[in-house]
Chains A and B, each alone.
Chain A
Amino acid sequence: MIAAAPMEETVKREFEELFREHFQFVYCTAYTVTGSSQDAEDVIQTVFMKLLQQHFLLRARDNPKPYLYRAAINASLNIIRSRKRLDLTSDFDRFDTLRGDGPFAPGDAAASSLVKAMSQLNPLAVEILVLRYEHNYSDAQIAKMLGKSRGTIAVTLYRARKRLKRLLQTELGDKL
């Protein structure tokens, strides 16, 4: 193996604990926004490496979850926006874990357009939507997590759904 000095053991242990505690939350968040396992894994690398690089950011030390969540949303949106020209519809087979209990089969145009439309929202709206629909948070929990008032969450959620609907109608027309 490479002949580099070993990481300081305590730092490594601390990092591993933090990683294992928050991995699933960050991964699921990234997967919901990007719709791709590969992209979700890239987001994991980005988010946690940044944390490691900056020796556990001061603001992330005490309460890492909100920091990691925001970083995951931003990194996911960056990935989606960086491949603007990629037609997600044609790549939709990658969405291998769509909810099985809903009316949308994998490959559904509405669902694929939804992911595309999400990337056009502002990051706060995406954060709120993912917390609500992927992680099943209530408005109060979302407000606490993001440090916003419940009113802000409710209004943002309302506007986000409205904008999404408009974007999807433009995309899908009568299908929605």
Chain B
Amino acid sequence: MEQRFVGRRYRRRVLVNRLMLILTVLATIISLVPLVLIIVYVAEQGIGSLSIDFLTHTFRPISFGNASTGGGVLHAIVGTVIIVGFSLLLAAPIGIMAGIYLSEYPGNSASTAIRFCVDVLSAMPSIVGGVTAYVLIVQRVKSFSGFAGSIALVVLMVPIITRTTEEILRLVPQSSREAAIALGAPKWRTTLTIVLPMALSGIATGVLLAFARAAGETAPLLVTVLGNNNLTYDLFGPMQALPLLAYRYTEQPYQVLNQQAWGAAFLLVVIVLGINILVRIFTRTRSPR
């Protein structure tokens, strides 16, 4: 009697155990499905629209006559490189130096305040940065510009770079710093010639991740850069960028442009996922050292 009761209870527990474990496996599979679907679909649609023309031409107006050829996205590639490159030039020094400050001078009230601001910035919706750049630059100058877009992206990149720099610098062994200081080197020399070179690859990783994040960002560009169908190198006028073009062409009723949007999306995914995968493989092989 007692034996049977325990047995039934035990069987129930084993059953619940098995059921829940199967559920977790199912949940993992369910979550991976969208990733696979999205990547497969983007690749399928994107590779089809890739061609030499696609990469080397700019927008070609669509008329009933030439509806089959819609030009290319060269202007968007150039725009993305210029806008994101310029914001990287601004964000990298700020982020790296702030990271150095946080890791080399920890534990005072200034670094607590700065770390708090970095946290707030990294959680801030990207559109808020876009709105700020819009008010500060677009409304003042009365013109949309790639420059305003760069400023909006700086807000996004600084916290990423600061945080990775700080984390990497903390991994540099304290003994290396002490060795340099014991030889009589001042702190700045220790930091610049001993600590920084040891952490260089990690800092580069942070900068690359920030680049990838900013390259895929659309919303802040929408309200600052606006978009442009022509190839332009003028940072102070409206420009085009890959994510922006993907969005605009998606909203168009023309099949040709929708197809080009997928091409642009494919380029973006290749750039962004490529950087992310490379960084992960790179840091993984290095970390056990």
A and B: bona fide binding partners:
no
